[in-house]
Amino acid sequence: MSFDRSIKIAPSILSADFANFGQEIRAIEAQGCDWVHVDVMDGHFVPNLTFGPPLCAAIRPHIKTVMDVHLMISPVDPYIDAFAEAGADIITAHLEAGPHIHRTLQAIRGAGAKAGLAINPGSGIEDVEYLLDMVDLVCVMTVNPGFGGQKFIHSQIDKVKKLRAMIGDRPIHIEIDGGITPETAPLMSAAGADVLVAGSAVFKGGSVDNPSVYGENIRTIRAAAEGARKAA
């Protein structure tokens, strides 16, 4: 994975057809997505239960871009190796998920994956400053984690601006997860984000039998984000 700050669209398969993950992934990649985002939830750290390492291993052969695995679980450390072995390119853990996040980030990198740090809407970025040399990505949650289809929390725009200034020239992605649409994508790209996770906004109206809709949705989000960045 080489680093650049171009706008990347990362569809969340939480909004895909669960019975056809392989076809759905091939469809969104063929239609221009940059990464494939996998939301892992444990029913404990967040009020929902989704996927585990076996699912990641099963879909890995279908992913030709980047497998971006977001762990909304606690504890995290016992599962890092399993997700790395399942083929995750990026493993993101939550600042709030345990008392030793520095150790968790070390373990992720030690397992051979890029290390991501996620922060909830109610968390500040003060603690992030002391972890920047340990991370490849910071994921700012713009909804409360646990469910897709939630409304975007606008107070996070200022958080992203501050985070962008804090990161400076470091090769760290700023990812936005939650409520991304053609209307909110420009707000985030102008604030400094470069990776936009979108679930329903990508998959709505399309299917593996009509994948061109996925492409239209991806292009619309990307164009809105890139236009706002140029104007900023």
Which residue among the candidates 42, 89, 177, 194 is catalytic per the annotation? Answer: 177
Q: CB-based contacts of 153: which residues, under 8 Å, 6+ apart?
A: 121, 142, 143, 144, 178, 179
* pLDDT at res. 123: 96
pLDDT tens, position by position, 134-147? 999 999 999 998 76
Annotated active-site residue 39? The verdict is: yes
- Calculate the dihedral angle through the C-alpha atoms of 184, 179, 86, 96, rounding to the nearest 10 degrees: 110
pLDDT tens, position by position, 174-208? 999 999 999 999 999 999 999 999 999 999 999 99
Q: What value does the mean pLDDT of the chain take?
A: 96
Which residue among the candidates 39, 42, 68, 89 is catalytic per the annotation? Answer: 39
Annotated active-site residue 127? The verdict is: no
Tokens of 148: 């897709």
Tokens of 8: 């990347």
* pLDDT at res. 214: 98
- Sheet of 195-198, strand order: 8-11, 195-198, 173-177, 137-141, 114-119, 90-94, 67-72, 36-41
* pLDDT at res. 232: 74
pLDDT tens, position by position, 101-112? 999 999 999 999
pLDDT tens, position by position, 44-84? 999 999 999 999 999 999 999 999 999 999 999 999 999 99
The sign of the dihedral angle between the CA atoms of 77, 78, 83, 85 is positive
Is the pTM above the cut of 0.75?
A: yes
SS (H, E, C) the chain: CCCCCCCEEEEEHHHCCHHHHHHHHHHHHHCCCCCEEEEEEECCCCCCECCCHHHHHHHHHHCCCCEEEEEECCCCHHHHHHHHHCCCCEEEEEHHHCCCHHHHHHHHHHCCCEEEEEECCCCCCCHHHHHHHHCCEEEEECCCCCCCCCCCCCCHHHHHHHHHHHHCCCCCEEEEECCCCCCCHHHHHHHCCCEEEECHHHHCCCECCECHHHHHHHHHHHHHHHHHHHHC
